[in-house]
Structure 1
Amino acid sequence: MFDMDGTLIDTQSLISEHMTQTFVGAGLTPPTPAQSRRVIGLSLPNAIATLMGTDDMVLAEQMAEDYRSRYRAMLTTGAEREGFYPGARETLDLLHAQQETLLGIATGKGLRGVHRITQMHGIEHYFSTLQTPDNNPSKPHPSMMLTAMAETGAQPHQTVIIGDTTFDIEMGKAAGTKAIGVLWGYHEPDDLIRAGADILIERYEDLPAAIDQVLEN
């Protein structure tokens, strides 16, 4: 199971820019890029509510819809800014070719965005299950992992979440699965370890061996 933003796709600058525009448009002090980076992985309304320090989910959802509108407007000229991290495509190709391996996505991004990005990169057929906040609670709730396993017939000891944030790691651990933290994303290595990551990797080339390692333990 792969997280998307910060794990497969490098969207940090886009997310920070649109979060700033959304907050300014609402007459609020915008978060810093570092603050925006810390909430990537949560569902969009939860991320906005966290940045505002509020439990007013009605307002957070209104701002989330403004964010989505701004993001959709960008797509006419900025789709090339949603590129893979180095080595990601090659590693996905390798894992997809393994008959014993099923791939899935568990992301805070909406299903519409997941379909658009996977189709843009020609990998929509790689994934047996797509889990998003459209039909699940936000990470770190384990629902995305539990639903993915139910859909595919995989057991927790056969399942790994690969992600860059504590939300990913905590989600996997709450579902009883293994968890691999990647170091090219948005949360610090020490935070990933404290969240329960079984192993950390620095390059996509290291992922296949890391998957074998954690599933053997």
Structure 2
Amino acid sequence: MKLIIFDCDGTIVDSQHAIAAAMSAAFDDHGLVQPERSDVIGVVGLSLVEAVSRLLPDGADAGLADPVAQTYKRAFADLRQRSHHHEPLFPGAAETIAALAAREDYLLGVATGKSRRGVDALFEREGLAKYFVTIQTADDHPSKPHPSMIERAMSECGTERPQTIMIGDTSYDIEMACAADVAGIGVGWGYHPRDVLQRAGARAIVSDYSGLPATIARLFETSGGVAA
């Protein structure tokens, strides 16, 4: 069996608007200068406390990271309850995930900086839970790029490094793949540009979901070799 691990935010779902709005609300609630939107998007993929720590203004008490993170969770949950709140899947995501999961030789997993509650809410809404056999979240692991999430997913699925691929939109995903010594595929529709993904060590970069299955197959055929 071969294991394909997906990141979530920026890879499966476009959640940047909700993330930016919730982060601004959290910083404002604590009397802090709101971070630039580009800076917020730049830390998507890290665990929440690590992301907040990087966004705190110079001179701010580092101890604020955890309470701001908790406020962010409440703000994001409030946004999710509003009728106009929308976190769309990227085009082709649902269809491609379903097609990959239908293969008898593939197992699908998730490794994300989201909370388990956030992943469960998203997958329930979009009907994706049935496709994934292992879900690793920031609740139980160090922040990316630590390889813990990939290593736990491989352990749960009984796969080895040459039979495992990580797919993500940020340098943190690709660096995590490198740290776990598995192939990393970057996606060009997410939150970090292609050149950043390349420098992080991506074995391949795809421009849309339609190109993902063939790229996965090529990498598995070469046991983690570089795809053209």
TM-score normalised by length of structure 2? 0.92
Structure 1 match to 2:12? 8
Q: Which runs of 5 or more structure 1 residues have no equivalent in the other structure?
A: none
Structure 1 match to 2:160? 155
Instruction: Tell me: CA distance 1:206–1:61, structure 2 relative to 1, closer, same or farther (3 Å).
Output: same
Is it true that 1:43 corresponds to 2:47 in the alignment?
yes
Retained in 2: the 8 A contact 1:49–1:55? no
The structural deviation recorded for 1:22 is 1.0
CA separation in 2, counterparts of 1:55 and 1:150? 40
Residue identity opposite 2:17 in structure 1: S
Aligned length: 217
1:76 to 53, 78, 81: 81
Matches within 5 A, 1:1-217: 1-52=5-56, 58-78=63-83, 81-217=86-222
The structural deviation recorded for 1:168 is 0.1
TM-score normalised by length of structure 1? 0.96
Retained in 2: the 8 A contact 1:43–1:133? yes
CA separation in 1, counterparts of 2:202 and 2:213? 16
CA separation in 1, counterparts of 2:11 and 2:20? 16
| Of 97-106 and 74-83, the range deviating more from structure 2 | 74-83
The structural deviation recorded for 1:119 is 1.0
Residue identity opposite 1:107 in structure 2: T
CA separation in 2, counterparts of 1:54 and 1:216? 51
Residue identity opposite 1:143 in structure 2: S
CA separation in 1, counterparts of 2:13 and 2:128? 13
Q: Percent identity?
A: 43
Instruction: Tell me: CA distance 1:130–1:79, structure 2 relative to 1, closer, same or farther (3 Å).
Output: farther
Instruction: Tell me: CA distance 1:159–1:21, structure 2 relative to 1, closer, same or farther (3 Å).
Output: same
Query: Runs in 1 of length 4+ with deviation above 2 angstroms?
Result: 53-58
CA separation in 2, counterparts of 1:54 and 1:88? 41
Residue identity opposite 1:178 in structure 2: A
Residue identity opposite 2:189 in structure 1: W
Instruction: Tell me: CA distance 1:78–1:102, structure 2 relative to 1, closer, same or farther (3 Å).
Output: farther
| Of 78-87 and 23-32, the range deviating more from structure 2 | 78-87
The structural deviation recorded for 1:192 is 0.4
Residue identity opposite 1:128 in structure 2: V
CA separation in 2, counterparts of 1:184 and 1:8? 10
